[in-house]
Structure 1
């Protein structure tokens, strides 16, 4: 984790220096003086504006998950489990929000422990018919709260958010004309920072998922229940149509298991439906590379094996 944080801090500095260098080069080319402080000022204003716009436009996770808060009277058993687990982990009891989606979703949302919402989908509640399994999933999500993972991941994702915001705004520029001497190199810097930063934050996210698994087991005392829950949820994700997984992809990185299909859905083309999409072999390999680089969760089988080994060693 220390290495990842150091790398992301370096990457943030690299983004600042990269943007400054492009602006300094352009100002120097046009003999604008003094180029150094002007480039520094424009860099600071640009990145601060991008950061403000990015965080201002982010929808609440409950809305992305299509979830609605429910009170204790509507879900007494679920509130009882959440309250008990929260006490065991020494975190405030969360507000519970329910999504009607069939994709198995489970996530804890909230920057501060006092304002956490535990979001569960009907797909998760239907799959986990055993109270111990549901308790283990709740414990995993509240372990993220105890570990302050929302705060950690928000802070470390700063270079990724800035690079993504800068890149998307540069991509929206049509017919840049002479401004291409600024747009093209800035887009290259943003793309490089986004790619490297995304890979590093994904690795850090995988570490946080394993830590939440361990904390959940320590909290509820049943590695077998969590392993069984992960197995059922994984089976539910495999049975979910790709279309529904795409709808849930906005919360994939926050959910207990990733909500993306392992492979691209192949739709045959042509009047007879017998023609393979162009460059399908390349598209599938690029998709696998993307999944490998930016995977936010450890492989589910690896997590289950670790939990089984923990149960045997208990």
Structure 2
């Protein structure tokens, strides 16, 4: 069974604690705004009405957010395949799943060339492994593909889908509330409620998303560690990450935009490092206004909300795992 790193455990605990605080701040903030409104108009008891309205508001936003979320397979444009379609791939996935002591996932393939590799599913028994044709083409040898599959199935073993779904709930709710408030035209007197609610939601969304991104980075490092131990070859995963990272950097921004909906779930971020620059003017030689500012804001946003550790950092950690494996004396054989 793969070992647990104390630093990874500490990072997960800190992120979950921070998100718990953010959740409390969000609920208290919404309650305080509604309490102020009911107190002003003379509704009593204001605290009870505020609590009920807060619960109703959160439940309504949660329901609307749940209804509008498409399935990941549809976003990834992937189709399920049978064992007869890709026998070697099925055998490899089955072998890795057996090592991790988890059910064999359903496999789905996408014909997109952007290097995608992810798992979706709330419970280990209902997991889909999604790979793109770009990933299969980019990797060389069975060892690299096995390492990528091991990384993704390590997320299943660690129940990352369940963890990230639960901890991201306040972020989803805050974003949903802020979006719906922003869509209101001519709010009139209700601005006294809408403006404070919008401010609370936006602040909670920003802080919560930053903490969630940190937790996601921790979970990615944990999956790297499990994959390295399960396969016994940190170098294979490092080689795979290098190839996929190179292919992503060479993928046109248009293709990366198509895959952006699953970027946070894939083995590497599928978001472009720089925003796409579209020149303006009749001759196409005019730079967009304040391009320098847009570029810096894009970089800051990527740094703040980065869901994956930098690839170089992951490679350094895998190299350290490799050195520890090489320095470990082999167990003595029993005669």
Which of the five TM-score ranges fits, normalised by the shorter chain? over 0.9
- Residue of structure 2 aligned with 1:132, choices 143, 148, 157: 143
Q: Would you say the 8 A contact 1:263–1:284 is kept in 2?
A: yes
Corresponding residue for 1:220? 231
- 1:291 aligns to what SS in structure 2? helix
Unaligned 5+ segments in structure 2 are 1-11, 326-335
Q: 1:72 aligns with which of 65, 70, 83?
A: 83
Partner secondary structure for residue 102 of structure 1: coil
* In structure 2, C-alpha distance between the alignment counterparts of 1:201 and 1:50, rounded to whole Å: 20
User: How far apart are the structure 2 equivalents of 1:19 and 1:276?
Assistant: 42
Alignment equivalent of 1:116, drawn from 117, 122, 127: 127
CA distance in 1, matches of 2:147, 2:284: 45
Q: Equivalent residue for 2:265?
A: 254
The answer on 1:308 being equivalent to 2:308 is: no
In structure 2, what is the Cα distance between the partners aligned to 1:56 and 1:3? Answer: 31
Q: CA RMSD in A?
A: 0.8
List per-residue Cα deviations over 1:110-151 (Å, max 9, x = no partner).
100001100000000111131110000000000000000000
Partner Cα separation in structure 1 for residue 28 and residue 250 of structure 2: 47
Number of the residue aligned with 2:74: 63
**Distance in 2, Cα, partners of 1:16 & 1:308:** 44
Deviation at 1:57, TM superposition (A): 2.1
CA–CA separation in structure 1 for the residues paired with 2:22 and 2:143? 42
Task: Name 1:145's counterpart in structure 2.
Answer: 156
Equivalent in the alignment of 1:202: 213
Aligned to 2:112: 101
Distance 1:7 1:302 in 2: 24
User: What TM-score results when the alignment is normalised by the length of structure 2?
Assistant: 0.92
How much has 1:313 moved relative to structure 2? 2.3
Structure 1 position 98, deviation (Å): 0.4
Residue 253 (structure 2) aligns with = 242
Shift of 1:78: 0.6
Mapped to 1, the partners of 2:158 and 2:72 lie a distance apart of 19
- SS where residue 79 of structure 1 aligns? helix
* 1:54 aligned to which of 62, 65, 71: 65
Report the counterpart of residue 164 of structure 1 in structure 2.
175
Shift of 1:175: 1.1
1:88–1:220 Cα contact (<8 Å) kept: no
3-state DSSP of counterpart to 1:92: coil
Residue deviations 1:210-264, cap 9 Å, x none?
0000000111111111000001101110111001100000000000000000111
In 2: Cα distance, 1:117 partner to 1:261 partner: 26
Q: Distance in 1 between matches of 2:311 and 2:104?
A: 28
Is residue 2:281 matched to residue 1:270?
Answer: yes
Partner Cα distance (2:103, 2:232) in 1: 20
SS of the counterpart of 1:225?
helix
Aligned residues, how many?
314
Find the residue that maps to 1:275 and give its secondary structure. coil
Question: SS of 2:286's equivalent?
Answer: coil
Q: Quick one: distance in 1 between partners of 2:20 and 2:321?
A: 34
Partner of 2:164: helix, strand, or coil? helix
